[in-house]
Structure 1
């Protein structure tokens, strides 16, 4: 069931980004407004203080304090100054705070309002204050008037707060307009970003993505096959529980997480991240597995690969049947090919009227076949091993290889099904390698010799060839997965697989130098059965 989507992702992103931008812009605007207000008020206060200091230092004003009517002189001096500077008022008062000048002539002779003259009149300080006067709240500059060293009065220059706020508002308008444009651009950007992200998400909602992710995780973890995803650099990006159970822990620290690990560190046989293959047999730790690899594409570019694998034992029954059928088929094919060659020889002799030679050839071949079949039938009780060796006999004849079995060989022991499968796998791989090793030699040096016996507590097989053998430096690695002395790809599995299946039934396979000049493989299996723990 698809999850219920409450709000569209596109709408949510537009709203959230827009709210974020609006919130940031409002916060920034308030900060700027406060900063501008403080700056303008500070500048106005300094301007009022500077103007007050200039007025306080005018000699005519100082001298007028000793006149009978100081206001008649002082008022005429400060009015032009107030009009030129734009000050709301310039008030000059005596030590008692009685006005000698004021924009409203009716206020002259009355006491100054605000109660902020004490610092100037008593302590001789120049300062800025913000108080309510007869004209309203104003920013004032207060400066004492000195006659030599004595304070004789005070000058108060003020600018109304309302006028200051008008200046602040006019200065702030451009900021608000700019931030409004930024908000508009931000909303348009939010729409573009949300559309782009929706496109990247294949127009899916977060609830749908979450549901799909959980669904994929459930599928991945419930799959019995091991699954590993790697990126283009061969690093593991995804791995399920089944895969961890397959992997050999000795290659990776037990406390180390597999994610981010190079695939070759745990699966050395995976050498090409771009390769596509199916059901390739490999040895993982103590298990034989069938591995599939499929490259992943992003557009037309390979971005990684998915590797899946399962135990070969899960398909063991089918594999065993197919293996037996294949062995019988190979044996029959080789016999048919050999028989066809003999018939052509006989036909040629008859057509040339060489009847005596034809009869002798038939008798000779009949004796060879009879002796071969008789030897195998009398000395090998297992029909599948009998069929395998007969097929390899005929395959060797096709390749011109001398394939001999030691006349003292004997195999009467009854194998278990597991032992039989192990012997067929190992023996088939080793003989096949021997045929490959000698087929390019000259005719006289194409030799393979086999000896087997079940005398004693173990069943032994010895396979020698006249090939070039195995170099001393390669012997420690000859049974490793992926290692091969043959040129080309897709080698290095047969011997690793052989060693694995033989060990599973408690046996062993080793290599040593043979008497024919090439390699000699020894395979041993205990008679008491599978002792592998």
Structure 2
């Protein structure tokens, strides 16, 4: 016959309680068996000692010695033995003559009969103990001689029944089982309390649900491309996924778990954002090679528990936004030029209507020559198409803002000189942001002008942009390249990102970026210079 399997508890608390019950049962059963065997042996030894002490006390009593010499010893010894039994908590006290005939016994019918058990050692003057089954059943007894002048005149046996000893041991085992039951009850209450607290902290999810959530959690961490960073209350890294390691430049071989954010070697602005207790939303930060959108959200539950940080790589997006801004500037410049062209066309038409055809031709020709001269000047100095287009567009933008943008006569950059390693996007990022920054600085100054110089010198490409603005405080020479630094009020999109992008691109291209005061007389302003290394093949080819 097969029995159905016992149902297994599904909850974690049920499993804990079942384990506790089995553990307590095994411990109690083992301890009860050990206690029963050990206590029974100890109880037998204690009963033997007790019986020996009672027997010797009775044998040494003068009352016993005097009664033995009377014609009827039982008359005086029987009441005396009964009192001793009552007072010493033994089951029997038997006093007998040297041949073993009883003078006393708890059952008076046994008086006068022969003692059941060994008496030879006592007859020879020795006290001994034994476990023997007599008229009262199995008992632990002691037999000792009653001596007078070196002669044995009687013997005394005192004993305790084994049944009484076992009853005492069973009482101890029962008490032990009661303690075990109390421990089991206490364990059940403790398990219930711990389970309630555990379910409160795990939002009611059991072990299987937690395990399943952990599996999903691990899969999601490795699947998402965005960076995820979890910080504890002391801003130490508690968790980081693969995307976070890539975006922050932390390799898999570096163990960052448990380390403070300040120890990761991140740029100071990014470290400050991660250490802030205030939430951040789509805040742009730069690393050595990336532009990151950072979001932080504090985790709290009555007390600060940590911060969840998400990172998105917006490097490509930022570059596209820069190109879009350039295109927008070109569009605005074209719109402005179209407006100016319309005004000039109306002027030419009006001169013709007034009958001044010669003046109309002269006016139109002068305007064409001026536009062509500007184009020829830029293309002659910088024939590299990307930079030439950028300079023409920025010239129109600068003119709209009242700033003259000129290309230095020292500029010389032929088409085909730049290697493939210098992408058009990097050149637009570097030179475009430097020009925008210079135009911002020069706008509103007397004789507002921005001068651009671009040439190849030895194994380097040199890009220099100077302006007639207020210049750069030497104390801020390094701060101007940090994200967020700006001496002008922030607009809707914020400031302080352009120069940081320039430094990021220059660093990625293994170049150098410096800023100094302009040495031109009366101009003042600042000079930003970028030097980018050129391969030997490019230099020789140029």
Shorter chain as denominator, the TM-score bin is: 0.7 to 0.9
Q: 1:62 to 1:455 in 2, by over 3 A?
A: closer
Q: 1:484 to 1:73 in 2, by over 3 A?
A: same
Distance, in Å, in 1 between the alignment partners of 2:176 and 2:419 is 92
- Other structure's SS at 2:423 match: helix
- Other structure's SS at 1:409 match: coil
Superposition TM-score, scaled by structure 1 size? 0.73
Partner of 2:104: 101
Q: 1:402 to 1:178 in 2, by over 3 A?
A: same
Partner of 1:210: 211
Partner of 1:453: 455
Distance, in Å, in 2 between the alignment partners of 1:17 and 1:530 is 79
**Is structure 2 residue 290 aligned with structure 1 residue 288?**
yes
Match of 1:55 among 55, 58, 65: 58
Deviation of 1:61 (Å):
0.8
Q: 1:305 to 1:103 in 2, by over 3 A?
A: same
Distance, in Å, in 1 between the alignment partners of 2:120 and 2:518 is 121
- Other structure's SS at 2:235 match: coil
- Other structure's SS at 1:429 match: helix
Deviation of 1:89 (Å):
0.7
Partner of 1:355: none
Moved more, 29-38 or 295-304: 29-38
- Other structure's SS at 1:137 match: strand
Distance, in Å, in 2 between the alignment partners of 1:163 and 1:409 is 119
Q: How does 1:335-414 map to 2 (within 5 A)?
A: 372-390=374-392, 392-393=394-395, 396=398, 403-414=405-416
- Other structure's SS at 1:443 match: coil
Q: 1:487 to 1:324 in 2, by over 3 A?
A: closer
Residues 232, 305 of structure 2: 8 Å contact kept:
no
Residues 464, 520 of structure 1: 8 Å contact kept:
yes
Moved more, 373-382 or 321-330: 373-382
Superposition TM-score, scaled by structure 2 size? 0.72
Distance, in Å, in 2 between the alignment partners of 1:452 and 1:85 is 121
Distance, in Å, in 1 between the alignment partners of 2:235 and 2:319 is 34
Residues 413, 454 of structure 1: 8 Å contact kept:
no
Deviation of 1:40 (Å):
6.3
- Other structure's SS at 2:532 match: strand
Tell me the alpha carbon deviations over residues 422-467 of structure 1, each in whole angstroms, 9 at most, x when there is no partner: 121112333344455566xx83496643322246554321123444
Match of 1:79 among 77, 82, 102: 82
**Is structure 2 residue 263 aligned with structure 1 residue 265?**
yes
Q: What is the total number of aligned residue pairs between the two structures? A: 501
Residues 25, 179 of structure 1: 8 Å contact kept:
yes
Partner of 2:133: 132
Q: 1:32 to 1:517 in 2, by over 3 A?
A: farther
Residues 458, 525 of structure 1: 8 Å contact kept:
yes
Partner of 1:190: 191
- Other structure's SS at 1:271 match: helix
Moved more, 443-452 or 486-495: 486-495
Deviation of 1:413 (Å):
2.9
Partner of 1:498: 502
Residues 226, 310 of structure 2: 8 Å contact kept:
no
Deviation of 1:52 (Å):
2.8
Partner of 1:348: none
Deviation of 1:327 (Å):
0.2
Match of 2:423 among 394, 419, 425: 419
Deviation of 1:304 (Å):
1.5
Residues 429, 498 of structure 1: 8 Å contact kept:
yes
Match of 1:509 among 513, 523, 540: 513
Q: 1:55 to 1:240 in 2, by over 3 A?
A: same
Q: 1:43 to 1:341 in 2, by over 3 A?
A: farther
Distance, in Å, in 2 between the alignment partners of 1:200 and 1:39 is 51
Partner of 1:356: none
Deviation of 1:135 (Å):
1.5
Distance, in Å, in 1 between the alignment partners of 2:524 and 2:123 is 125
Q: 1:364 to 1:69 in 2, by over 3 A?
A: farther
Distance, in Å, in 1 between the alignment partners of 2:530 and 2:449 is 19
Distance, in Å, in 2 between the alignment partners of 1:242 and 1:529 is 37
Moved more, 75-84 or 429-438: 429-438
Match of 1:304 among 301, 304, 307: 307
Deviation of 1:121 (Å):
5.9
- Other structure's SS at 1:234 match: coil
Deviation of 1:141 (Å):
4.7
Distance, in Å, in 2 between the alignment partners of 1:306 and 1:221 is 16
Distance, in Å, in 1 between the alignment partners of 2:52 and 2:70 is 26
Deviation of 1:372 (Å):
4.4
Distance, in Å, in 1 between the alignment partners of 2:144 and 2:495 is 103
Distance, in Å, in 1 between the alignment partners of 2:21 and 2:165 is 34
Partner of 1:325: 324
Residues 227, 240 of structure 1: 8 Å contact kept:
yes
Distance, in Å, in 2 between the alignment partners of 1:420 and 1:134 is 119
Structure 1 unmatched ranges of 5 or more: 345-358
Distance, in Å, in 2 between the alignment partners of 1:292 and 1:168 is 74
Distance, in Å, in 2 between the alignment partners of 1:64 and 1:487 is 128
Tell me the alpha carbon deviations over residues 163-193 of structure 1, each in whole angstroms, 9 at most, x when there is no partner: 3333444565555445435434533543454
